[in-house]
C-alpha cells in the first residue's frame, strides 16, 4: 500500500521508509512541506505520516491546505510535540491520528492499517472477497480457510486489489503499490505476479479488463 512519509530528519525518515517497507507498505519519503504538497497532488496515497516541524511549509499548514482541497487521505501526525494544545489543534486541523515520537514501527504500521481500513469503510481488519480472505496486519491470505503462501509482491498486489474490490486498478497503480518512487519496476512485474496469484487463488479471482487494468469482485 502506497503511503507518504513527510519527515525532515534524515535518520528518522530513512528508518521509517525502510521499516514500513518491510512491514508491507510502499512508502515514499519527502523532507519538507512543499515537496509533500507536490507529491500528494501528483499521486494517490493510502495514508500520510506527517511531521509537524517541517521546513518551508509546516505540517499543520500542509494538512490545512490538504483538507481545504477536499483531500480525504488519512493523515497520521508523528511529532515530538506532546502538549495537549498541539494534539488538539492537530485533530482540529484534520488529522486522523496523533503519535508522539519516539514510536514503535509495528505500532505505527498497525495504526496506519487501521486508518486505511477505516478510510475504505471497513470495520474488521480482514478483507474477504469470495473464497479469499486477507489479513493486512498479519500479511496472510486464506483460500476457503486454508493458508496460502504468497511472496511480498503477490501480497502487495492482492492487498491493493482486494482493498479496492469492485474498482479497476491500472497497471501503473499496481506498480505504485509495489514500489515507491525509489525502485524501478520491471516492465512485466505486475503481469507475472497477477499470473502467480491466479494460479494460487483461482483463475477467476482476478479479472482482466483489456487495456484498462485489473479488478477483484466484491
Partner 1 sequence: MRLRLNSVYARVLALVMGAMLLGGGLVVFASYRQALHEANELFDAQLAQTGQTLLAIVAHGDDDVAGDLGETAHKYQQRLMFQVWHQHHGDWRLLLRSSNAPAEALPLRKTEGFSSAEWNGRRWRFFAHTDPEHEMRVVVAQQYQFREELARNVAWQNLLPFAIGLPLLAFLLHFAIRGGLQPLRRLAGDLAHRAPDRLEPLEMGDPPSELQPVLAALNRLLGQLQGALENERRFTADAAHELRTPLAALQAQLQVVGLAPTETERRSALEKSLRGVSRMTHLVEQLLTLARIEGDTDALARSETDLAGALQMVCGELGSAAAARNISLELDAPPAVPLAVQPDLFAVLARNLVDNAVRYTAAGGRVEVDLESADREVVLRVADNGPGVPPERQALLGQRFGRYQEAGPEGVGLGLSIVGRVAELHGGRVEFGPGLDGAGLGVRVVLPRLPGRAAATGS
**Residues binding partner 1 (CB under 8 A):** 8-12, 14-16, 18-19, 22-23, 31-32, 53, 55-56, 78, 80-83, 100-106
- Which of 185, 150, 196, 190 lies closest to 174 in space, CA to CA? 190
Shortest distance, position 159 Cβ to partner 1, whole Å: 18
Shortest distance, position 106 Cβ to partner 1, whole Å: 8
Q: With respect to partner 1, which residue has the nearer C-beta, 79 or 164? A: 79
To the nearest 5 percent, what fractions of the chain are helix, strand and coil? Answer: 40, 20, 40
Q: With respect to partner 1, which residue has the nearer C-beta, 100 or 110? A: 100
Cα–Cα separations (whole angstroms), residue 102 to 51, 52, 108, 142: 12, 14, 10, 35
Q: With respect to partner 1, which residue has the nearer C-beta, 8 or 131? A: 8
CA dihedral 80, 86, 92, 96 (to 10 degrees): 20
Shortest distance, position 63 Cβ to partner 1, whole Å: 19
**Paired sense of beta strands 47-50 and 26-30, if any:** unpaired
Quote the CA–CA distance of 44 and 22 in Å, as a whole number.
Answer: 21
Quote the CA–CA distance of 84 and 99 in Å, as a whole number.
Answer: 12
Cell of 195: 499470473
Q: With respect to partner 1, which residue has the nearer C-beta, 19 or 94? A: 19
Shortest distance, position 36 Cβ to partner 1, whole Å: 13
Shortest distance, position 57 Cβ to partner 1, whole Å: 11
Q: With respect to partner 1, which residue has the nearer C-beta, 55 or 72? A: 55
Cell of 64: 490545512
Q: With respect to partner 1, which residue has the nearer C-beta, 82 or 92? A: 82
Cell of 54: 517541517
Shortest distance, position 15 Cβ to partner 1, whole Å: 3
Alpha carbon distance, N-terminus to C-terminus of the chain:
19
Amino acid at each position: 500500500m502506497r503511503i507518504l512519509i513527510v519527515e525532515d530528519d534524515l535518520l528518522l525518515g530513512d528508518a521509517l521508509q525502510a521499516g514500513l517497507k518491510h512491514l508491507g507498505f510502499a512508502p515514499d519519503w519527502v523532507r519538507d512541506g512543499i515537496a509533500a504538497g507536490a507529491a500528494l497532488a501528483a499521486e494517490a496515497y493510502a495514508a500520510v505520516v506527517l511531521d509537524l516541524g517541517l521546513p518551508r511549509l509546516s505540517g499543520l499548514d500542509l494538512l490545512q491546505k490538504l483538507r481545504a482541497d477536499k483531500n480525504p487521505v488519512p493523515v497520521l501526525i508523528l511529532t515530538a510535540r506532546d502538549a495537549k494544545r498541539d494534539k488538539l489543534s492537530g485533530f482540529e486541523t484534520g488529522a486522523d491520528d496523533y503519535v508522539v515520537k519516539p514510536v514503535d514501527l509495528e505500532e505505527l504500521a498497525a495504526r496506519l492499517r487501521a486508518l486505511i481500513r477505516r478510510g475504505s469503510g471497513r470495520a474488521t481488519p480482514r478483507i474477504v472477497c469470495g473464497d479469499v480472505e486477507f489479513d493486512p496486519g498479519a500479511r496472510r491470505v486464506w483460500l476457503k480457510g486454508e493458508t496460502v503462501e504468497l511472496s511480498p509482491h503477490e501480497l502487495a498486489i492482492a492487498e491493493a486489489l482486494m482493498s479496492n474490490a469492485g474498482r479497476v486498478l491500472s497497471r501503473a497503480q499496481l506498480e505504485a503499490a509495489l514500489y515507491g518512487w525509489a525502485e524501478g519496476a520491471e516492465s512485466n512485474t505486475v503481469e507475472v505476479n497477477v499470473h502467480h496469484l491466479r494460479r494460487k487463488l483461482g483463475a477467476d479471482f482476478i479479472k482482466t479488463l483489456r487495456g484498462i487494468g485489473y479488478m477483484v469482485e466484491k
